[in-house]
Structure 1
Amino acid sequence: MRIDIEDLSVAYAGRTVVAGAHLVAAEGEITGLVGPNGSGKSTLLRTVYRHLTPTAGRVLLAGTDLRELSAVRSARHVAALPQERQSEFELTVHEVVAMGRTPYKRAFAGDDAADRDIVARALADVGMAAAAGRRFTALSGGERQRVLLARAFCQDPDVLVLDEPTNHLDIRHQVELLALLRAQRRTTLVSLHDLNAAASVCDRLHVLHAGAVIASGPPREVLIPALLAEVFGVRAAVVDHPLTGDPLIAFDHRAPAGTETPAPAEVPTGG
């Protein structure tokens, strides 16, 4: 299913955080949101999974305004992995993941064989099958992240909304998670701080700055040195990744944009 965000404005804590945003998440593609802290990425995503209500504009799911859908119907179509997460589940990993089946059940109904198969498959997909009987509260941050992603998979959604899904993950599990998202081929709207990960996994990027979408397009067209300097305040060169051919951003870690790169220190020679 396709997501269309039309002229969206969202206020949070008494101020406008997103103003007049337009963007599309095409069916079956991974659409990335990138931008500095405070640019409105998380706020925009919260309106897609209905945690926040827009002050203007709308979010369309396959042409239907999300506000016209019941909470249950919406949950059957859209699953989210937000940044803000409850961490005090006194439940096992299996029980947490099985919560993803709630939109398909009558009140107080137990799991059937099909539900148990779906839960097992989701845990296997995120590499947490062996932890099914462990307490959620006993897991590391990265393990919790993978369990909550499995819960989202269990909803069998048409659309995944992921807010910084690689947070807390080591490099191996970051790579595995992003590869899993590619293999899923669900309509996916994801915010990422790692611009190189975004360039690798996303079909299309939208750049947010001060609550507005200021650039949209394929990663190679969007992640150019001038934009990186303007939006992120960094000096960078964009080259081809030697292994994948994706755009690879090489940052100048010695100086921000608008300054001269310090000259290398002279190495004393004997004599």
Structure 2
Amino acid sequence: MRIEIEDLHVAYAGRTVVAGAHLVAAEGEITGLVGPNGSGKSTLLRTVYRHLKPTAGRVLLAGTDLREMTPLQSARHVAALPQERGSDFELTVREVVAMGRTPYKRAFAGEDDADRDIVAQALTAVGMAERAGRRFTALSGGERQRVLLARAFAQNPDILVLDEPTNHLDIRHQVDLLALLRAQRRTTLVSLHDLNAAASVCDRLHVLHDGAVVASGPPREVLTPALMAEVFGVRAAVVDHPLTGDPLIAFDHRTPADEAPPAVPLETPTRG
């Protein structure tokens, strides 16, 4: 299922946070949102999973305006892993993951064999099957993150919306999660702070700055030294990763971009 965001404006706490954003997340691809803190990434994602209403513009799922769908209909298409993590569930891990089956159940209906199989598969996918009987509140931050991702998988959505999904995860589980997203080949809209992770996992990137999309395209075309300086305020070189061949961004941690000229002429960033 394809996502199209057209001229999106979103206000939050009395301030316009997203202003005229246009972007596309193609079916079956991983589309990344990157940008500095406060650039509007989380706000934009919240409109896709209906936590916020846009003040103008629209979000289309396979050509249908999200506002024309009921919450139940959209929940069968879109599953979210927001930054706001639930931490007060007095439920077991398995019970939390089973909540992902709610959009498919009638009121007071119990689980069937298909639900149990889907929940078990989701727990296995994130490496939490052995902790299925533990209390959610007893888990570490990284374990809770994986459980909430399993809940999203159990929802069996066409679209995954993930806001900083690698937060709280150690490096091994970050690698596992990104590999899992690639293997899913499900339409995925994800925000990431780690630009090297974004370059590795995403098919296409949209760069947000001050609430607007300022560059769009494949990671190698978007993540240029010029864009690093203009949007993130850092000096960087972009080279090939020695193991994967993906773009690898090497940052100058000693000199801010505005304090020293680059050693070579910068390219003009791709605009979208």
Determine whether 1:157 maps to 2:160: no
Letter in 1 for 2:35: G
Within a 5 Å distance, the mapping from 1:12-91 to structure 2 comes to 12-91=12-91
Distance in 2 (alpha carbons) for counterparts of 1:256 and 1:135: 46
Distance in 2 (alpha carbons) for counterparts of 1:153 and 1:86: 17
Q: Alpha-carbon deviation of 1:210? A: 0.3
3-state SS in 2 of match to 1:176: helix
Letter in 1 for 2:8: L
Letter in 1 for 2:152: A
Letter in 2 for 1:75: A
Equivalent in the alignment of 2:270: none
Give the alignment's TM-score, normalised by structure 2. 0.95
Give the alignment's TM-score, normalised by structure 1. 0.96
Greater shift in the superposed pair: 251-260 or 22-31: 251-260
Letter in 1 for 2:79: A
Deviations 1:109-164 (A, max 9, x none): 11111111110100000000000000000000000000000000001000000000
Runs (4 or more) in structure 1 with deviation over 2 Å come to none
Determine whether 1:122 maps to 2:122: yes
| Alignment gaps of 5+ in structure 1 | 262-271
Equivalent in the alignment of 1:265: none
Equivalent in the alignment of 2:268: none
Determine whether 1:167 maps to 2:167: yes
Distance in 1 (alpha carbons) for counterparts of 2:22 and 2:178: 25
| Alignment gaps of 5+ in structure 2 | 262-272
3-state SS in 1 of match to 2:80: strand
3-state SS in 2 of match to 1:122: helix
Distance in 2 (alpha carbons) for counterparts of 1:145 and 1:86: 9
Distance in 1 (alpha carbons) for counterparts of 2:89 and 2:155: 19
Within a 5 Å distance, the mapping from 1:86-165 to structure 2 comes to 86-165=86-165
Distance in 2 (alpha carbons) for counterparts of 1:65 and 1:109: 30
User: Which of the two has higher C-alpha Rg?
Assistant: 1
Distance in 2 (alpha carbons) for counterparts of 1:44 and 1:127: 30
Distance in 1 (alpha carbons) for counterparts of 2:49 and 2:237: 35
Q: Alpha-carbon deviation of 1:260? A: 3.4
Distance in 2 (alpha carbons) for counterparts of 1:14 and 1:164: 24
Q: Alpha-carbon deviation of 1:108? A: 1.1
Distance in 2 (alpha carbons) for counterparts of 1:165 and 1:108: 31
State how many pairs are aligned: 261
Distance in 1 (alpha carbons) for counterparts of 2:108 and 2:94: 17
